[in-house]
Amino acid sequence: MLLEECEVLSNKTLASGLYEMKLEGPGICAQGRPGQFVNILVNPSDTPLLRRPMSIAHVNGTTFGLIYKVFGQGTREMSSWQPGHMADILGPLGNGWWPTDDRLPLLVGGGVGIAPINFLHQRLSQAGAPHQLIMGARSGAEHFLEHDPSAGITLTTDDGSAGIAGTVIDGLKAAISRQDNQAVTVLGCGPPGMLRALQSFTMSHEIPCQLAVEEMMGCGVGICMGCSVECRIDASLAQAGEGRRYRLACLDGPVFSAGELVLARD
């Protein structure tokens, strides 16, 4: 983990409602793994006081990228940064996705969860490792890749304006149906409803799955306890009346085994 002053190289619209920022950060680039995030001090003077967590969306040499949506004050301020702006950034933080056995990875991203999934896609592509990418959005205007199942890219849209009409679960089913009975594993990130759907689908089909959560965070380094996530303890370890514990999204996660997570309803 480093505290790095990163120069903004570009900050542009990537798709409808979606921005991409590229920053110079040799230390973060050298250490960053897919699923890890950085914590950004948006305004050193006063508000917002807390850093804002953002997933690493890609790394090229000493440049890393963020893909983000404007939600409130912090991200609105980030969207105004011009090339040359120096940003105070802590990272890389969190655990990231961990290697799996020889199962085919199916990467599933929705909402701003496409950012860390994009980095995983980049790393697997660079390594020549076979995988499938499934990305969901409300409409085609929110996508920045082309729907191309033959190249392993499946897009879904709620309104049917690009790719498969439906949710990422429909995209996942289509990607699975294209495999010749090959065992698969699912690696996903997205909004709470999508994570619940992925958890339910993979558990009912006995597919191993790792999910990255995007909990509200304070410090990002395990001090404030502001990012606790309810988890199931392995049934064999649980005492009567127990069976649940809290883990920290910033330190123990943000990636967890799907079976471990207790996902709250919105």
Ligand X SMILES: Cc1cc2nc3c(=O)[nH]c(=O)nc-3n(C[C@H](O)[C@H](O)[C@H](O)COP(=O)(O)OP(=O)(O)OC[C@H]3O[C@@H](n4cnc5c(N)ncnc54)[C@H](O)[C@@H]3O)c2cc1C
Where on the chain is the footprint of ligand FES (CB under 6 A)?
Answer: 217-220, 222-227, 248, 250
Backbone angles phi, psi at 141, to 5 degrees: -65, -20
Nearer to ligand FES, 223 or 262 (CB): 223
71: contact with ligand X by CB under 6 A: yes
Other residues' Cβ atoms within 10 Å of the Cβ of residue 130: 11
Nearer to ligand X, 32 or 74 (CB): 74
Residue 223 binds: one of ligand FES, ligand X, none (C-beta under 5 to 8 A by kind): ligand FES
Measured between alpha carbons, how far is 215 from 9 in angstroms, rounded to an integer? 28
Does residue 163 contact residue 137 with C-beta atoms inside 8 Å?
A: no
Please name the residues in contact with 231: beta carbons below 8 A apart, sequence gap of 6 or more.
244, 245, 246, 247, 256, 260, 261, 262
Closest approach of ligand FES to the CB of residue 175, in Å: 33
Q: Compute the chain's Rg from CA coordinates.
A: 18
Residue 214 binds: one of ligand X, ligand FES, none (C-beta under 5 to 8 A by kind): ligand X
Please name the residues in contact with 26: beta carbons below 8 A apart, sequence gap of 6 or more.
4, 62
Half-sphere exposure of 35 (CA within 13 A, CB side): 24
216: contact with ligand X by CB under 6 A: yes
Of 108, 217, 229, 255, the one binding ligand X by CB under 6 A:
217
Residue 254 binds: one of ligand X, ligand FES, none (C-beta under 5 to 8 A by kind): ligand X
37: contact with ligand X by CB under 6 A: yes
Closest approach of ligand X to the CB of residue 192, in Å: 9
Measured between alpha carbons, how far is 169 from 204 in angstroms, rounded to an integer? 13
48: contact with ligand X by CB under 6 A: yes
Closest approach of ligand FES to the CB of residue 9, in Å: 28
Closest approach of ligand X to the CB of residue 242, in Å: 27
Nearer to ligand FES, 59 or 89 (CB): 89
Q: Classify the C-alpha dihedral 72-15-115-82 as positive or negative.
A: negative
Provide the b/e sequence for 216-236 (b: ≥16 CB within 10 Å). ebbbbbeeeeebebebeeeee
202: contact with ligand X by CB under 6 A: no
Of 74, 96, 136, 188, the one binding ligand X by CB under 6 A:
74
Closest approach of ligand FES to the CB of residue 14, in Å: 27
Nearer to ligand FES, 209 or 229 (CB): 229
91: contact with ligand X by CB under 6 A: no
Nearer to ligand X, 7 or 215 (CB): 215
Does residue 52 contact residue 1 with C-beta atoms inside 8 Å?
A: no
Q: Which residues lie near ligand X (CB under 6 A)? A: 37, 48, 52-55, 67-69, 71-75, 112, 115, 214-217, 254
